[in-house]
């Protein structure tokens, strides 16, 4: 298969277990904590287990979305909507996706990496993360505490700020089709 025939940029990359050093450090710290204070270590493990149980559904959803993207989405489609030739439409989709996305940011890393390997611009990843500061379910509460005008103006500035951050990255780190 010639290089240009490969549908994915990272197709030839072998699977790499990421975070192995962090995992090793955490295991060592838990071991030291068990030696020093086993009761505190057990409590920490219980809380970690509860957190893991809470994020498993989100992880499964991201894995499902990533699988569906890989199955249905062609690199040309990603490039058309979120790549170099996407124009203003790409900026809009990155903003909208950031605002409507839920869950912890790190949960989105694998999906965004996959989209990036299909041609998504890095600037759109910045816009996605920066626009996540607006949470649709929390807007009514914010309006109740601060008023409609404040909420609308702040949301507008947050969206403009997200776009500016993406543009700054695009200026400082041009991708040139990579």
**Complete DSSP assignment for 68-118:** HHHHH--HHHHHHHHSGGGTHHHHHHHHHHHHH--S-HHHHHHHHHHHHHT
Whether residue 144 is contained in a domain is answered as yes
Asked if pLDDT for residue 133 goes beyond 90, the answer is yes
Longest dimension (CA), the chain: 60
Asked if pLDDT for residue 129 goes beyond 90, the answer is yes
Asked if pLDDT for residue 77 goes beyond 70, the answer is no
Q: Running DSSP on this structure, what letter comes out for residue 165?
A: H
Averaged pLDDT of the chain: 82
Torsion of Cα atoms, 161 then 164 then 165 then 169, to 10°:
180
Flag whether the pTM goes above 0.75.
no
Residue 150: the pLDDT is 97
Whether residue 177 is contained in a domain is answered as no
**Coil, strand, or helix at residue 134?**
coil
How far is 57 from 107, CA to CA, in rounded Å?
11
**Coil, strand, or helix at residue 19?**
coil
- Domain span holding position 73: 3-172
Whether residue 178 is contained in a domain is answered as no
Whether residue 35 is contained in a domain is answered as yes
Residue 152 C-alpha from the chain's centroid: 25
Q: How confident is the model at residue 69 (pLDDT cuts 50, 70, 90)?
A: low
Counting the structural domains of the chain, the total is: 1
């Amino acid at each position: 298969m010639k290089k240009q025939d490969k549908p994915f940029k990272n197709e030839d990359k072998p699977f790499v277990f990421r975070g192995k050093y962090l995992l090793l450090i955490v295991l060592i710290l838990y071991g030291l904590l068990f030696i020093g204070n086993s009761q505190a270590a057990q409590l920490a493990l219980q809380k970690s287990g509860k957190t893991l149980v809470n994020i498993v559904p989100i992880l499964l959803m991201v894995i499902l979305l990533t699988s569906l993207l890989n199955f249905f989405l062609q690199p040309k489609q990603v490039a058309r909507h979120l790549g170099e030739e996407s124009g203003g439409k790409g900026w809009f989709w990155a903003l909208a996706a950031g605002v409507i996305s839920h869950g912890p940011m790190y949960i989105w890393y694998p999906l965004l990496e996959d989209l990036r390997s299909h041609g998504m611009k890095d600037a759109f990843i910045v816009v996605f993360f920066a626009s996540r500061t607006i949470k649709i379910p929390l807007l009514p509460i914010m309006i109740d505490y601060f008023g409609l005008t404040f909420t609308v103006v702040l949301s507008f500035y947050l969206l403009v700020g997200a776009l500016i951050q993406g543009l700054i990255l695009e200026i400082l780190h041009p991708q040139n089709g990579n």
